[in-house]
Amino acid sequence: MNAPLPADTAPRTDWTREEIAALFALPFAELMFRAASVHRRNFDPSEVQISTLLSIKTGGCPEDCAYCPQAAQYDTGVKAEKLMDVEAVLTDARKAKEAGASRFCMGAAWRSPKDKDLDAVCTMIEGVKAMGLESCVTLGMLTGPQAQRLKGAGLDYYNHNLDTSPEHYRHIISTRTYQDRLDTLEHVRNAGLNVCCGGIVGMGESAADRTGMIHALATLPEHPQSVPINALVAVKGTPAAQAAALDAIDFVRTIAVARIVMPRSMVRLSAGRESMSQETQALCFLAGANSIFYGEKLLTTPNPETDADKALFARLGMRSMPLKDAGH
């Protein structure tokens, strides 16, 4: 077993954009060395936290996120569906646990949940927790009392991504502001919930925008406990589908910089793995990614099958993180 080295000192939340840009500009070998060193000081580099994501309410969202096939205004073939029955969700949670997941994540395509919607979601959370799994939901914007209610149901993590840099944001979304997102994150922190917050790269942003996105995450009042880094999954019918694919090495650099500036966060290699080679994924793990989603689908987009991930883990000598360590 590769036990982690003594942990870094308290993580910084005062990173400057210039410092982060300088990390991105490092020679690749130097950047990878620094990121892997930070990773080893805080985690076992052979362990990966496994999550499974289920869409509990699909399609029909009133937002205009340029990357999202669930936006009602885009013709992507995704049909609006009602909230799933509680027992159907818990059946999927049991399957996820049997497949090796330690965290079960539930996503609903809402701008923000109505209070009555939370009745069923809270019951789902309680059921997931009773199985011994960590729970995570992403439901859109929250009020303070809603965040408190989710905490009372036993929720562990709330996902709410910043998506991109503050400057590029207006090119991606017009139906909510960057400050709206920051406000929801504040409500989540104030409720004592763990924050899952990251972004998407490959949406036509500049290198400066990738710096800006990492800077926004690393200078939150507290680093998100989980940081998903997504590569755009281009879905026909969405505006972002026209963006050129991001270079694989640039994606790995984003993972590495996130690991360095947020040393104790779980950095999740998230959407986009389906189109990545095993070698690119291996570089991401070397760069400090230590969380993935298991399962053939992420909400509505493809994800590698569980057997393929198990084979990759075996090839790399990696293993799933025990539940007791998965909330690091």
Of residues 103, 122, 136, 253, which has the active-site annotation?
136
Q: In angstroms, what is the C-alpha Rg of the chain?
A: 18
Give the pLDDT confidence score for residue 98 in this predicted structure: 86
pLDDT digits (tens, 9 = 90+) for 215-247: 999 999 999 999 999 998 878 878 778 888 889
DSSP reduced 3-state for 157: strand
With left for phi above 0 and alpha for psi between -120 and 50, is residue 132 left, alpha or beta? left
Between 282 and 299, where is the model more confident?
282
CA distance linking residue 300 with residue 79, whole number of Å: 10
Cβ atoms of 167 and 212 within 8 Å: the answer is: yes
- Res. 56: pLDDT tops 80: yes
Residue 312 amino acid letter = L
Give the number of residues written for the chain. 328
Catalytic residue among 34, 68, 103, 122: 68
268 is catalytic: yes
Handedness of CA 63, 291, 270, 274 (dihedral sign): negative
Instruction: Please provide the average confidence, as pLDDT, over all residues in the chain.
Output: 88
pLDDT recorded at residue 6: 59
Q: For residue 157, list its beta bridge partners.
A: 136, 194
Name every residue whose Cβ is closer than 8 Å to that of residue 289 and which is 6 or more positions away in sequence: 48, 229, 255, 259, 267, 268, 269
Report the C-alpha gap between 46 and 65 in whole angstroms.
35
At 305, is the pLDDT very low, low, confident or very high (cuts 50, 70, 90)?
confident
CA-to-CA distance for 66 and 289, rounded, in angstroms?
Answer: 26
Selected catalytic residue, list 149, 176, 196, 253: 196
Q: Grade residue 324 by pLDDT with cuts at 50, 70 and 90.
A: low
pLDDT at 18 over 80: yes
At residue 303, does pLDDT exceed 70? Answer: no
Contact 102, 322 (CB under 8 A): yes
For residues 40-44, average pLDDT? 94
Q: How far apart are CA 100 and CA 92, in angstroms?
A: 13
Higher pLDDT pick, 111 / 257:
257
- Whether the per-residue pLDDT at 5 is higher than 60: the answer is no
Residue 304 pLDDT: 57
- Least Cα distance to 53 among 82, 9, 92, 1 occurs for 92
pLDDT in tens, 179-214: 999 999 999 999 999 999 999 999 989 999 999 999
Residue 10, both tokens = 């308290």
Of 253, 259, 268, 273, which is the active-site residue? 268
| CB-CB contact of 270 with 303 (8 Å) | no
Task: Provide the pLDDT for residue 244.
Answer: 82
Q: Which of 105, 122, 197, 284 is catalytic?
A: 105
Active site residue 197: no
Find the helix or strand (DSSP H, E) in which 279 lies.
helix 278-286
Q: Identify whether the C-beta of residue 323 lies closer than 8 Å to the C-beta of residue 103.
A: no
> What percentage of the chain has pLDDT greater than the value 70?
92
Specify whether 284 is catalytic: no
The DSSP code for 71 is B
Exactly one of 61, 122, 197, 284 is catalytic; name it: 61
pLDDT of 328 reads 47
Which tens digit of pLDDT belongs to each residue from 105-131?
A: 999 988 889 988 899 999 999 999 999
